Amino acid sequence: MGSRYSESLGEDIYRYIMELMPHTDDLNIFLQKIYLRYNMPVIVTDIAFHLIAYGGPYPCPDPLWQTIVTSGAAEPETVVNYYFGEGFTDKMSAAGEPIDASWGINTQYPQTTCSVYLGNSIEGCCCSVMYLDHGKLDFALKLNAAVKTAVEIFLGGKLRRQPMGAAPDRLVAARILLENTDAPIQLLTNTAFYKNVGLTPGYMVVAMHTDDTSGVRLQNIVNSIKVRYPQMLYVNKSDDMYLLFQNIKSDAMREHILSDIEAEASQKAVFTCGASGVFHDLKKRDAYIEQARLALEYGINHCGKNCINYFFDNFTEIILRHGCDSIFAESLIVPEFKKLIDFDEENSTDYCQSLSCYIFERCDMTKAAAKLYVHRNSLMYRIKKCEEIMEVDLSDRKTYEKLWLCCTMRSIGALPSKAE
């Protein structure tokens, strides 16, 4: 078998691949045949190290590859600390051709790797060959180059592409934040990784769905939005796109973003969006991803086409439909009521109690005042103060319904003890 790795037989690689490809339309089968012929395992992953295809023994000799093969992706800690922290991705992208990647945690399992391109742009994946025997490095580099070419042909129209110029660290951050929410948030503080991600509090999650089953229009919409908001992160989940916006400093800015999304999306597809509230603690992102999902679901079922449904605009209907026990506690506080809770905590007041009593007495000022043992004029002042703090008009029906629900959930202990 040693002669198989000779210089002369290295020239046979392309000939064999070109003979093989017309008879194989499955990349996994193709890579397995490459492995069986040359006894070198080959793996192809996307730019965030999620598995695309693998050819080799099972179990795989390299425990990192084995994790990717069995679970479909590298562990977030590995991606951040090694692939980015130790410069693996930067060196691979800068080389433009296969390189020897046998350093760091790859020392025991020597391998070559390279980026996969379509035209002049990185397609969003990498191709690696494990050669195990250091004497076979030159051949592995040649094999890697040839397989890379074949992978580019295989994936030409089959892989949903990342937008031009997509940064791998941002793609990984998006998956950690929006997809792999069990991953510790401390991963994103890795210095080498964090510098290009630059997360700034004032976050909002938007879930987007279109009538285009191919996903092309959805990706086009996201690409257009990303031109306006380059710091936006996103992932595809079950044929819907989840977007994470940041540095939102006001309701006006939130509304402006949603207007921009509507303007871009309405030009390209029939769409529905669900938007979460604004939050500042990424450790609680699960609740806001859920808000976006529930708002999207409500929009699809009740709001018609080409609409953006803000979670708190239909708060009462969503909560009554799903029940407070099945929803994250952070999602049970409308922003207006949160302002009142925060004010009470910061000023040692009890406006929440006054508001609750007033609402439970159906806005009957006299009955509520009697129940609170205060003068009617005192309660009138308190309710007016509540409206000022929350920036609402209690005579508005939807506002009243949302606050009634919040007061009810607070009275039965369903709300978190401290607002986010």
* Residue 336: Cβ within 10 Å count: 18
* Euclidean distance between CA atoms 255 and 257, whole angstroms: 5
- pLDDT given for residue 245 in this prediction: 96
The alpha carbons of the chain give a radius of gyration, in whole angstroms, of 28
In CATH, 2-155 is 3.30.1340.10: no
Contact 385, 394 (CB under 8 A): no
Per-block mean pLDDT, blocks of 10 residues, the chain (420 long):
48 79 84 93 86 91 91 81 70 79 84 75 71 86 88 65 51 77 63 65 94 79 88 86 94 94 87 94 90 93 87 89 78 90 94 95 94 95 96 93 90 64
- pLDDT given for residue 120 in this prediction: 46
Q: Is 24 left (phi over 0), alpha (psi -120 to 50) or beta?
A: beta
* Euclidean distance between CA atoms 20 and 25, whole angstroms: 10
Burial of 29 (0-12, 13-18, 19+ CB in 10 A): middle
* Euclidean distance between CA atoms 383 and 393, whole angstroms: 10
CB contact set of 311 (below 8 Å; sequence gap of 6+): 274, 275, 276, 277, 291, 292, 294, 295, 318, 331
- pLDDT given for residue 163 in this prediction: 42
- pLDDT given for residue 116 in this prediction: 82
- Count of positions (residues) in the chain: 420
The ranges assigned to domains in the chain are 2-155, 199-329, 335-411
Cα–Cα distance list, 285 to 227, 237, 267, 279 (Å):
24, 16, 30, 8
For residue 403, give the nearest of 312, 292, 310 by alpha carbon.
Answer: 312
- pLDDT given for residue 188 in this prediction: 64
Helix residue ranges, H only, 235-375: 251-266, 285-302, 315-322, 335-347, 351-360, 365-372
Letter string b/e over residues 232-263, b meaning 16 or more CB atoms within 10 A of that residue's CB: bbbbbeeebbbbbbbebeeeeebeebbeebee
Contact 262, 303 (CB under 8 A): no
* Euclidean distance between CA atoms 339 and 348, whole angstroms: 14
* Euclidean distance between CA atoms 133 and 39, whole angstroms: 11
**Tokens at residue 18, please?**
């070109």
- pLDDT given for residue 2 in this prediction: 42
For 199-329, CATH number?
A: 3.30.70.270
Transcribe 29-47 into DSSP letters.
HHHHHHHHHH---EEEEET
